[in-house]
Amino acid sequence: MRKLLLLTTVILVGLVFIARLFYLQVYDNTAYNIFEDNAIRKVYNYPKRGYVYDRNGKLLVANQPSYDVMVIPREVAPLDSLQIEEFCNLLKITREDYDNKLEKATHYSPRLPSPFVPQLSKKDYAVLQEKIRKFEGFYILKRSLRSYQTNIGANVLGDLGEVNRKTIENDAYYTLGDLIGKQGIEKTYEETLRGVKGIKFIQKDRFNKNIGPFKEGTLDTLPQPGKDVTITIDSDLQAYGELLMKHKRGGIVAIDPSSGEILAMVTGPSYNPNLLVGRERNKNFSSLFLDKVNKPTFDRGLQAQYPPGSPFKVINALIGLQENVVTVDEKFTCRMGYYYGSRRLTGCHHHRSPIAMNGGIAQSCNAYFVNVYRRIVDKYDDAGEGMNVWANHAKSFGLGNFLNNDLSVGQPGRIPDGDYYDRQYGDNRWGSTYIVSNAIGQGEVEATPIQLANMVAAIGNRGYYYTPHIIKNIEGETIDSKYTTPKYTTIDKKHFEPVVQGMFDVYNEGTAKHIRIPGIDICGKTGTAENFIKIDSVKTQLTDHSIFVAFAPKDNPKIAIAVFVENGYWGGRFAGKMASLMIEKHIKGHITRTDLEKWILTHSLEDEYKKPYSGEPFKINGESRLQVIENYATEENYPLKNQNQIDVKL
């Protein structure tokens, strides 16, 4: 009976194995996954990353060789103290570093390779290459690092950093130690630039030793190099903009209105992109990111949300014309400001009065635009409805929302509507007199410099714009059609000409007449944005921001630009001069207004930022302006304090 039981058991087990094998070979449709086979070692061959060129074909980003020491913890042979000491000396690390790195690699996976010491120099690689065979479980993997051929445009070009675990989990392409675009063009066009890794499959025996190519290498693949890209940036114009922004804080964005191509995208302060290459990257990045005074990693041209100030008045002029609440020739009285009854709601500087639209734009009259704005809102029975109509017109210029561009960072700005004020004041408990600051680009309106540049590009085009973008050409591909399809505003084309003439007169007889460029018809608008902070419910004034927007030439413009200089006093003092110089640099290729250039290059705002503040309340006397912001800004009186931009939006 026992013999029969044993025989039956053997037969049954055999039948189970046969049935399973038959199922796997005949019926099972599950594909064999070589990447899950622990008996196969995978060795990656990294491709050449695509080069980056500027719009004129100048090479901005290339590659340089890099060597990573990789480790497979399970294959590391026991080393005595002398061997470990020798290995550490070769790698220029301590024994403690050795133990920590090996523990980290083991925790990631004892069987899979991971970086042990990344990015060796050529010199260190040459020394280690001859001796690496002595240390089983370690090998050298060649890959490439970026080589920046320029010292400018760090915010544009971006950088590469080690991929994080979350990305590895979400994208099977990446493994521990791989590099990925972290900012700028490197991040946005990562898949285009990175190429495709090649791979070799190595068969291992039962002792985990390599015995040769798996299936004689028939499954191995070669790396496919990344594609070269040409970006829209003019590196000479970008460099000039960064020179003008030196010792200042702010942003400059210049766009070609005929295509939406971004010609320059300056943020200040900035940094040399080469600081974020190699083994010093992490240390340098931490130093840059933690610099809470200068914030060089914060792209003010794309992320800083400022009150747009007087440049926003031209939008109210266009909306007023579209809504038929004002004519070009109608005049309004200005008594050094706008009065509601006996109360002055907003001040204004001295100029002739009464004044029509052309003069209102050229002289930047606050009273004129408050009158126009109130008529827009009050045209409708309900103030909320009027605000919604106004907001929809403003948003059609790309304000108050993301522009859907190909840039790695950005902010939406803010165009308030009726619902916004219902939440602030309660339903039907507010009217146009509550919100007149919106008429002059203050109040609750906020915009980024790129939005202002896009806004003025739409005006230069008389009613349409192309989505601002930074890609000009991809090797062997065409760019997305969304960048070549025009977007139209809600304003009829016929209404733009008088507003354009008003902006032209800003240079001829208005607030920018002292910064004219010979031979170029420029249409612009100066702006001065209030800069304050509330301390103990007291509104404390800091130095105003300097703003300027412009396009040129007047007809068929080649450049639209927005310049924002924090604490730059008034529009024509810093921003206007810088805008005129950038326009001349782009159109003429050289500078004739050397007087403006000399003034900008010899006037620094660093002292302004450090200057003791002597305003109210008394308790902040003697502290610098930056200290005032750092010490007294809170979430209530300054919501962006904890978002790495303390001195940006006040």
Residue 274 lies in a domain: no
Phi, psi dihedral angles at 614 (to 5 degrees): -120, 20
Per-residue pLDDT for 643 more than 50?
no
User: How far is the C-alpha of 558 from the C-alpha of 261, rounded, in Å?
Assistant: 11
Same domain as 408, residue 318: yes
What pLDDT, on the 0 to 100 scale, is given for residue 255? 98
Angle at 291 between CA 285 and CA 292, to 5 degrees: 140
Residue 397 lies in a domain: yes
What pLDDT, on the 0 to 100 scale, is given for residue 28? 52
User: How far is the C-alpha of 513 from the C-alpha of 404, rounded, in Å?
Assistant: 36
The pairing of beta strand 229-231 with beta strand 52-53: parallel
What pLDDT, on the 0 to 100 scale, is given for residue 544? 79
Same domain as 545, residue 428: no
Mean pLDDT for 640-645 is 35
Residue 191 lies in a domain: yes
Residue positions counted in the chain: 650
Same domain as 190, residue 81: yes
Q: Domain range spanning residue 259?
A: 232-265+496-650
Per-residue pLDDT tens for 555-575?
999 999 999 998 887 788 899
Same domain as 109, residue 238: no
Q: Label residue 108 by pLDDT band (50, 70, 90).
A: confident
Same domain as 381, residue 256: no
What pLDDT, on the 0 to 100 scale, is given for residue 486? 96
**Segment among 13-22, 141-150, 331-340, 452-461 with least mean pLDDT:** 13-22
Q: Label residue 640 by pLDDT band (50, 70, 90).
A: very low
With CA atoms as reference, report the closest residue to 377 among 355, 402, 394, 360: 394
User: How far is the C-alpha of 203 from the C-alpha of 570, rounded, in Å?
Assistant: 71
Residue 275 lies in a domain: no
Q: Label residue 279 by pLDDT band (50, 70, 90).
A: confident
Of the chain, the end-to-end C-alpha distance in Å amounts to 94
Question: How many domains does one find in the chain?
Answer: 3
What pLDDT, on the 0 to 100 scale, is given for residue 536? 60
Per-residue pLDDT for 639 more than 50?
no
User: How far is the C-alpha of 391 from the C-alpha of 103, rounded, in Å?
Assistant: 58
Same domain as 200, residue 226: yes
Mean pLDDT for 180-185 is 92
Q: Label residue 645 by pLDDT band (50, 70, 90).
A: very low
Per-residue pLDDT for 523 more than 90?
yes
Residue 17 lies in a domain: no
End residue of a domain, out of 386, 420, 447 = 447
- DSSP codes of every residue in 455-523: HHHHHHTTSEE---BSEEEETTB---GGGTS-EE-SS-GGGHHHHHHHHHHHHHTSTTGGG--TT---E
Mean pLDDT for 322-335 is 92
Residue 465 lies in a domain: no
* 291 vs 398: which has the higher pLDDT: 398
CATH, residue 530: 3.30.450.330
Radius of gyration of the chain measured on its C-alpha atoms: 32
Residue 554 lies in a domain: yes
With beta carbons less than 8 A apart as the criterion, state whether 148 and 157 touch.
Answer: yes
**Segment among 225-239, 255-269, 570-584, 613-627 with least mean pLDDT:** 613-627
End residue of a domain, out of 413, 447, 481 = 447
Same domain as 394, residue 373: yes
Per-residue pLDDT for 135 more than 60?
yes
Same domain as 158, residue 67: yes
Same domain as 250, residue 224: no
What pLDDT, on the 0 to 100 scale, is given for residue 638? 43
Q: Label residue 539 by pLDDT band (50, 70, 90).
A: low
With beta carbons less than 8 A apart as the criterion, state whether 365 and 525 touch.
Answer: no
Same domain as 570, residue 506: yes
End residue of a domain, out of 432, 447, 462 = 447
Same domain as 88, residue 204: yes
CATH, residue 319: 3.40.710.10
With CA atoms as reference, report the closest residue to 143 among 1, 2, 278, 298: 278
Same domain as 253, residue 382: no
What pLDDT, on the 0 to 100 scale, is given for residue 222? 87
Q: Label residue 644 by pLDDT band (50, 70, 90).
A: very low
Residue 3 lies in a domain: no
* 298 vs 649: which has the higher pLDDT: 298
Q: Is the pTM of this model over 0.75?
A: yes
CATH, residue 86: 3.90.1310.10
Buried b (16+ CB within 10 A) or exposed e, 435-445: bbbbbbbbbeb
**Segment among 164-178, 370-384, 480-494, 574-588 with least mean pLDDT:** 164-178
Peptide bond before 553: cis, by omega within 30 degrees of 0?
yes
- DSSP codes of every residue in 87-104: HHHHHT--HHHHHHHHHH
